[in-house]
């Protein structure tokens, strides 16, 4: 819902004015709002994103409180045997000290073996899940054996101001690689819907208003 014009018009509310079409001056107005961190007009643009992500990504995502979420229920639905296995180059090695880690791909030989261990572990977990279900254990209990890389699906409704805060944190190189992929995909959508506000955000060092 909304676009660049809506942001400019919400700001113009101060003067009791609004435009029917986007004017050249609106770009400057949006830049000024971003620069001075007058954030409220950006709340007038609202996105719904439908997401399929591993549970460990969803868990980080749901820390973003200024949004609404509706998620697939493992109490009411049987979860499909669908889990995230990192590509070989994402079986990463952690180096350095706390708060100052760097991550690098492992030697391919090692990565290959570790990828196999992950896959087999997930398959075994799903076998156990199905065994428990087949003996009548409730879904809400049987799911306890599933790993955090099991895929979940959810919808999130988030306004542009909060979405800028999300991508500012989650597209940053220090963020978990997996959530960064989603954040960068969100940015592409944001840029399509509100190109001027997105440019202002990027130009102002990606600080959310
Ligand atoms: C690289 C990275 C590492 C992280 N590591 C950890 C970790 O180790 N452990 C951990 O627990 N979390 C961690 N987090 C999560 C982080 O601390 C935030 O909880 C999360 O990123 C959500 O950010 P947020 O509060 O700005 O977003 P939102 O919850 O969407 O809030 C948006 C804005 O609203 C305001 N706001 C919201 N709620 C309140 C409130 N109660 N009081 C005052 N103002 C509020 C703030 O201005 C906030 O920035 C990490 C995040 C990142 C990006």
* Confidence check: pLDDT of 169 > 90: yes
Residue nearest to atom 40 of ligand 1 (CA): 65
The alpha carbon of 63 and the centre of ligand 1 are apart by a number of angstroms equal to 6
Tokens of 7: 């942001």
- pLDDT (average), residues 169-176: 96
What pLDDT digit, counting tens, does each position of 112-163 carry? 899 999 999 999 999 999 999 999 999 999 999 999 999 999 999 999 999 9
The alpha carbon of 193 and the centre of ligand 1 are apart by a number of angstroms equal to 25
Q: Which residues lie below 8 Å from residue 144, measured CB to CB, with a gap of 6+?
A: none
What pLDDT digit, counting tens, does each position of 19-69 carry? 999 998 999 999 999 999 999 999 999 999 999 999 999 999 999 999 999
- In angstroms, the CA 137 to CA 129 distance is 9
What pLDDT digit, counting tens, does each position of 137-150 carry? 999 999 999 999 99
Q: Assign 24 to helix, strand or coil.
A: helix
The alpha carbon of 170 and the centre of ligand 1 are apart by a number of angstroms equal to 11
The alpha carbon of 113 and the centre of ligand 1 are apart by a number of angstroms equal to 36
At 102 the pLDDT is: 85
User: Is the Cβ–Cβ distance between 158 and 42 less than 8 Å?
Assistant: no
**Predicted confidence band of residue 108 (pLDDT cuts 50, 70, 90):** low
Q: Is 170 considered catalytic here?
A: yes
First to last CA, the chain: 19
At 111 the pLDDT is: 87
- DSSP one-letter code for 119: H
Residue nearest to atom 7 of ligand 1 (CA): 60
pTM to 2 decimal places? 0.95
At 98 the pLDDT is: 79
Q: What mean pLDDT is reported for the chain?
A: 95
Identify any residues that bridge with 157 across adjacent strands, giving them in sequence order: 48, 68
Would the CB of 97 count as within 6 Å of ligand 1? no
Q: Which atom of ligand 1 sits closest to the CA of residue 65?
A: 29
Would the CB of 52 count as within 6 Å of ligand 1? no
* Confidence check: pLDDT of 109 > 90: no
């Amino acid at each position: 819902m909304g676009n660049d014009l809506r942001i400019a018009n919400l700001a113009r509310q101060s003067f009791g004015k609004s435009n029917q079409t986007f004017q050249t001056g609106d770009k400057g107005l949006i830049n000024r709002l971003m620069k001075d961190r007058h954030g409220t007009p950006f709340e007038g643009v609202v996105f719904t994103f439908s997401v399929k992500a591993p549970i460990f990504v969803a868990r980080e995502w749901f820390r973003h409180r200024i949004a609404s979420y509706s998620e697939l229920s493992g109490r009411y639905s049987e979860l499909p045997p669908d889990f995230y296995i990192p590509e070989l180059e994402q079986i990463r090695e952690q180096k350095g000290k706390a708060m100052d880690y760097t991550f690098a791909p492992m030697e391919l030989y090692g990565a290959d073996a570790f990828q196999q261990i992950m896959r087999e572990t997930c398959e075994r977990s799903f076998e156990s899940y199905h065994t428990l279900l087949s003996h009548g254990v409730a879904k809400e209990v049987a799911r306890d054996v599933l790993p955090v890389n099991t895929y979940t699906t959810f919808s999130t409704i988030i306004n542009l101001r909060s979405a800028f805060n999300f991508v500012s944190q989650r597209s940053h190189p220090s963020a978990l690689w997996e959530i960064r992929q989603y954040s960068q995909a969100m940015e592409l959508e944001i840029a399509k819907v509100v190109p001027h506000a997105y440019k202002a955000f990027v130009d102002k060092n990606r600080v959310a208003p």
